[in-house]
Amino acid sequence: MTDLSSLPSERERELNEALEALHFAFRAVVAKPDAILAERGLSRVHHRILYFIGRKPGLSVNELLATLGVSKQSLNSPLRQLTELELVESNFDTTDRRIKRLVLTPSGLRLERQLSGDQRQRFARVFEAVGLEGETAWRQVMHLLAEDTFTG
């Protein structure tokens, strides 16, 4: 005899479907950029670094740490790799030499545009298909998932 209390509720099944949809959607969104990165011996963390430096050229290392939510130790190696590959440039702040400012080199900018460009095109196609209301709802869900108040 099956213990029905161990079976997931309808709501739990729906939530599992949402988790699975997130997993498969994320996999689809990162597949092409991951393949491009792998060809260069880089990973997703390198893409995140390139992306956020590209969105805010001149941000400090500490600002990047806060944005990514990682420790200095976990940022050090991939950032050094990107610098050695001449994809990121690190310069001292003009008013405070203790601060390093990060910018993408022309090669870094091209790579970031290639990686994120594929993702932007994917989002553009999907948002066009679901319309403004669907896009707005998706953005709301993503913002709420990212808020600390909902992580408990």
Q: pLDDT truncated to tens, each residue of the chain (152 aa)?
A: 555 566 679 989 999 999 999 999 999 999 999 999 999 999 999 999 999 999 999 999 999 999 999 999 999 999 999 999 999 999 998 999 999 999 999 999 999 999 999 999 999 999 999 999 999 999 999 999 988 655 55
Q: What is the number of H-type helices and E-type strands within the chain?
A: 5, 3
Q: What residues form DSSP beta bridges with 60?
A: 101
* pLDDT value at residue 143: 93
* pLDDT value at residue 147: 85
Residue with tokens 């430096």: 53
- Identify the structural domains of the chain with CATH numbers, from first to last: 18-150 (1.10.10.10)
